[in-house]
Structure 1
């Protein structure tokens, strides 16, 4: 066995233990084999079930944030379905005008086998990349060269494994110019580089392929596809040496000081960036998720264990080149405490310093999405993407000011932080662990937001504000919230204020010694996931809510017990492992999936879900991504009959010498690629449009 092969198997403890066609490589590189290790949350708090019938009145009024000074008309999450009270400060136009039929009509595609290496779109639609891994974004940047990538070249090119994506129109350009933001979650050096490339070079190029990208787009008119503009003035790469300002109460704390930053206020780089959100004032939020996999740590403290930090060589071995990734070094004991935050970026100012907001807490943020409450306070929702971890809400101390972008960019620096506790209203005996609907016809109940930080003071006994915000998981454990099945993307509707939570899956639920099925997480060994719908009681700043499950995912044709808000299960597109969420302009929810091959055995894809009327719960598949790929960052421009997705990790299980995908260039083995093409998969942002 070669050294390379030996290391690969050492780093793949999930090999032979994944279900369906889930890649053990993804487990290793994306989430540091989280499912192979101990569950991080070993707290004794558990779900509280109210066996009596519990009801709470619907809110009397809903009010939401205005669209923002930059007229961010091309963002992804724009509406929901039920009419909100007229006159709210930030109602989407369709909420006032009524819910018309979407211009984006399509015939749903049939499920695609997971092994198919193709981008599948509806009849009458076509697709093409907007930008691919390695595309040069600066003037004078070298063309992509698969065989000879260098760190210097990669720093000037689009990064790898783009996840959250949004497109924001540049004001005054009449829809012909925009900026695209994408984050780069992780890398897979085995398929990126030839085996002959020196390990140090692989590490350097891989590190440069992380981070974030902003790049300008242009098009002739709204009926034409976008192309990116190399050398445009707003183009920017955020790298491991980019400096971020830490904001909020944890800034300056002894918990975040290191040898390189004895003030504890400025942090180099961002890691594990997954989903995100776009603010009403036109900045981008990105969640630092699986940051723990980049650090070698003592692994003995309660804090290390709760955050999944261990004393083992990391998958990329960055600690061999940079001591700050080895927190066993006394100089960098706190380095890992400087990651796991929500990052805010101004895509319209390439000289700006991005921020990490400690007020939103430190955990494995899938992302964060913002809405402005009727009171004017900004509210951000975020899920902790770990088995048996929690759902959070932040409420700003200050209030949104229409047109005052400078002020609004301070709102995420101070405020109250809460964690969710759900209560079901069905008897325990009716939750059978299979996903069978209770006798009352739905999974539903009430909930409360438990305080962690309120008015600048800690609400957790025995912990300071700084400790709550740096060790948020531990603080949450102490107040008894509900353990969730990997709460990933959390999207509030800008029509109704309803909040949608994608719970992707949890293979450990119900196993020996671990919490079993509950009404909010109703299946043991939850393979396929579910979607939670939350209605705040009052405006978004409320500390009480009601909830129901919009769907319990799966494939009814395979015998899965599923639920789609009462819509006939034989008339839905099968769906598994919901991940990212978005809305179109008339209130439909769109879901991208991550893990369907391990669930229903089909390719991951993008799905439209009707939320109101007789069609509530109807799922229709719009597209499927190539072999071993994941669907990320959906953007729905249904008024222009266009959809965007990020295609992440196609061909994940291959090697440089044995590629499993050739997306998006599809250059055959042995063929000579044209300029800019490659004989390997290239994660890309893709646009799908009529044509």
Structure 2
């Protein structure tokens, strides 16, 4: 497959609201490449109506009680429209979203208007502060950050680059103290090093890039009367990087497909890459999704075996040299030198943040694809269900149902048991049907029923026993192959092609499950899947949010679209039936979270409406269902990630600030968060109500 020519600071033919450099370094320029999924699949209109039936009702409630953030990146490039220049926003019909009547609990704030300001903008009556920035030290012996004198040894002890997912875990017995756990999705070397030569990076620059990937665990101290969080040098602090050792568990552990010259056992992997969103488990660990891992690997153009080449193509591994040229420093990143190294990425990883010496795990029973995240629902009988989306145009939605029950409590024995819950059970992929498929014409017009709705089933792909051995449930594929080439298994069973399923979040109050479908401008193109009831627009620039009423441990569900995003003044948008003249415009939903009142909060990435990305509240129940209000916007060139919304604070990760076309280290478009002449730095921010009141009340 030939690659389209890239230019660092040139727009992508008006297709993306992201800067070209963000597309290159975040997702390997996925939106400019051919769609990896060219399987015939099944369209809604091809599926016999009535074949999927509702066989049960929602069971149980979520047991998670931790403050959970669902940060993420969009790991494929945003398919939006070109943005206006900074400071020249033409809002057109974009309103502020002010509605009459009493606001739903948790959403009583004055919406922030769309803008292109180089600042984090919050509602009147709210305050903010930076929690931690790229390069801030995590350990007492770590040096202060020096932009012009970075080293790999320093970076391994400092907060990493491009923070995405964020989670807060209360530290028992210490008032207002938490562990802040954050993913570091990717590195943008041209914005990290002066005089960076993208064709000839130095070995030290490569190693600094490795150190800036992974995760950070840092103790933070809150204070009474505000939502401010201050980092501390604590015993839990930890950096996980592209060099940290991981244990492989599940059906692919020890498989010939995972064995390399450095690891002939196929059970120990060096590092984790492109960690996008994630989730906190009810047993106190962190799950993180490895997303656009494909872009780190070179040599696909030199692979001659047709089967291996097809597998690489299905996962988006293309071309000869990689963007970062890591293969020049470590040959494991060359698929010709090490054909199986690429198979060791694309997993859900689990980290125990309470033990800084513990070895993190890669769970192969959950399948290998571009995991945006993995999030947990626990049924009333203790069955654990993990949901995950494959963030690629026309790829699939998955869930894993454990055959083991969660053990309550925080004893070491319970933790050891619960960290095996994702190693035994059944992996499923989703197939959806629409209630009125013939009414969908690609325009986004509502069906006669007034709602986008339908039914679905979870098709089993892989069963893993208590002994760790897998059983393939897909004809013509072994258990190892289903685990490692999960996308191909989904192709074979006719899973529904979705518009980039990113974050997947169960509502802890109702048990309903929500999916952010970010966008897909290829929908409806010749040779591509046409619009359907769950993906109702061709050339879908703005995305939608799916609501699923799932059996959780069962195989049937019903669904509807909560939001069809975009400018509410246009005919192709839908806000849960709420008055569209009274909502904030929203585009490209990415990460999801819930507040204590059961409202959904959405962060965006790649806003196609000519304004900065932001964070939005959405009412889910009652007469105000669908009311959408913008709570904050992030600075120029940034995306909003990792939202956490609790009683006293909102936490967001501000990723890649200042990444705009034409910007550079010599001529930055942003100086956030430090101001003056400072270089922009990805950072975590806390927002709270002045005087210490409750968020949205």
Question: TM-score with structure 2 length normalisation?
Answer: 0.88
Report deviation, 1:511.
Answer: 1.0
Task: State the Cα distance separating 1:652 from its structure 2 match.
Answer: 1.1
Q: How far has the Cα of 1:13 moved from its partner?
A: 10
Deviations 1:287-339 (A, max 9, x none): 0000000001335511011001123211111111111011111xx11000000
- Give the 3 Å change call, closer, same or farther, for CA 10–523 of structure 1 in structure 2: closer
Report whether the alignment pairs 1:480 with 2:494: yes
Alignment pair present for 1:305 and 2:342:
no
Q: Secondary structure at the match of 1:371?
A: strand
Q: Aligned pairs, how many?
A: 635
Q: Which one of 11, 25, 28 corresponds to residue 29 of structure 1?
A: 25
Q: Conserved in 2, the CA contact under 8 Å of 1:40 and 1:305?
A: yes
TM-superposed deviation, 1:9: 7.4
1:644 aligns with 2:655: no
Out of 546, 566, 569, the position equivalent to 1:554 is 566
How far the C-alpha of 1:105 sits from its partner, in A, is 3.1
Taking the aligned partners of 1:189 and 1:236, their CA distance within structure 2 comes to 23
**Structure 2, unpaired ranges of 5+:** 71-102, 304-308, 465-469, 691-697
SS of 1:570's equivalent in the other structure is: helix
After TM superposition, list the pairs within 5 Å mapping 1:483-632 onto structure 2: 483-536=497-550, 539-557=551-569, 559=570, 561-596=572-607, 599-632=608-641
Partner of 1:3: none
SS of alignment partner, residue 623 of structure 2: helix
Q: Give 1:414 shift.
A: 1.6
Q: Give the aligned partner of residue 366 of structure 1.
A: 372
Q: 1:220 aligns with which of 179, 198, 223?
A: 223
Which string of whole-angstrom CA distances, capped at 9 and with x for unpartnered residues, describes residues 436-455 of structure 1?
Answer: 10001100010000110135
Match of 1:111 among 109, 114, 138: 114
CA distance in 2, matches of 1:61, 1:490: 17
1:406 aligns with 2:416: yes
Judged with a 3 Å threshold, the aligned counterparts in structure 2 of structure 1 residues 110 and 73 are, in CA distance, closer, same or farther, namely same
Q: Which moved more, 1:516-525 or 1:200-209?
A: 200-209
Aligned counterparts of 2:340 and 2:624: Cα–Cα separation in 1: 51
Query: Deviations along 1:444-475, whole A, 9 cap, x unmatched?
Result: 01000011013542110111111100000011
Contact in 2 for aligned 1:54/1:446 (Cα 8 Å) = no
8 A contact 1:12–1:33 mirrored in 2: no
- 1:240 aligns to what SS in structure 2? coil
Instruction: Output one character per residue of 1:575-617: Cα deviation in whole Å (capped at 9) or x when no partner.
Output: 0000000000011000000010xx1111100000000111000
Query: What residue number does 2:477 align with?
Result: 463
1:343-375 CA-partner distances (Å, limit 9, x unpaired) = 100111101000000000000000000011233
The aligned residue for residue 347 of structure 1 is 353
Q: In 2 relative to 1, CA 427–137 (structure 1 residues): closer, same or farther, beyond 3 Å? A: closer
Q: Is the Cα–Cα contact under 8 Å of residues 11 and 315 in structure 1 kept in the other structure?
A: no
Provide the residue aligned with 2:689 in structure 1. Answer: 690
Question: 1:47, 1:9 → 2: CA distance?
Answer: 33
Matched, 1:663 2:672: yes
| 8 Å contact from structure 2 (residues 563, 626) kept in 1 | yes
Structure 1 unmatched runs, 5+: 1-7, 78-99, 669-678
Quick one: structure 1 residues 238 and 295, their matched pair in 2 at CA, closer, same or farther if it must change by over 3 Å? same
Mapped to 1, the partners of 2:636 and 2:62 lie a distance apart of 40
**Runs (4+) off by over 6 Å:** none
Residue range with higher mean Cα deviation, 494-503 or 259-268: 494-503
SS of structure 1 residue aligned to 2:686:
strand
SS at match of 2:451: coil
Q: How far apart, in 1, do the equivalents of 2:212 and 2:602 lie?
A: 27
**Corresponding residue for 2:241?**
239
* Residue 52 of structure 1: how far off its partner (Å): 5.7
Q: Which string of whole-angstrom CA distances, capped at 9 and with x for unpartnered residues, describes residues 118-143 of structure 1? A: 11110011211100000011111100
Q: Secondary structure at the match of 1:422?
A: strand
Alignment of 1:156-195 (within 5 A): 156-174=157-175, 176-195=176-195
Q: 2:292 aligns with which of 282, 290, 293?
A: 290
SS of residue in 2 equivalent to 1:650: coil
Partner Cα separation in structure 2 for residue 588 and residue 454 of structure 1: 35
Cα RMSD between the aligned structures? 2.0
Q: Distance in 1 between matches of 2:444 and 2:573?
A: 6
**Closer, same or farther in 2 for the Cα pair 1:53/1:262, shift >3 Å?**
closer
Q: Which secondary structure state, in structure 1, belongs to the residue aligned with residue 574 of structure 2?
A: coil
Q: Which moved more, 1:207-216 or 1:217-226?
A: 217-226
Partner SS for 2:312: helix
Q: Deviations over 1:618-674 (max 9, x none)?
A: 00000000001000000001x21x100000001113211111111111123xxxxxx
CA gap of 1:196–1:547, structure 2 versus 1, over 3 A, is closer
Q: CA deviation at 1:199?
A: 2.6
Deviation at 1:401, TM superposition (A): 1.4
Q: 2:95 maps to which residue?
A: none
Q: Is the 8 A contact 2:68 2:593 kept in 1?
A: no
Whether the 8 Å contact between 1:340 and 1:364 is mirrored in structure 2 is yes
What's the counterpart of residue 324 of structure 1? 332
Determine if contact 2:297/2:322 at 8 Å carries over to the other structure.
Answer: yes
Asked whether 1:75 is paired with 2:68, we answer yes
Tell me if the contact between 2:595 and 2:601 (Cα under 8 Å) persists in the aligned partners.
yes
C-alpha deviation, 1:20, in angstroms: 5.9
Structure 1 counterpart of 2:139: 138
1:141–1:375 CA distance, 2 compared to 1 (3 A): same
Q: Could you tell me which of 27, 35, 39 is aligned with 1:39?
A: 35
CA–CA separation in structure 2 for the residues paired with 1:409 and 1:55:
34
After TM superposition, the score normalised by the length of structure 1 is: 0.89
Secondary structure in 1 aligned to 2:336? coil
Distance in 2, matches of 1:261 and 1:35, equals 34
Q: Aligned equivalents of 2:148 and 2:512: distance in 1?
A: 49
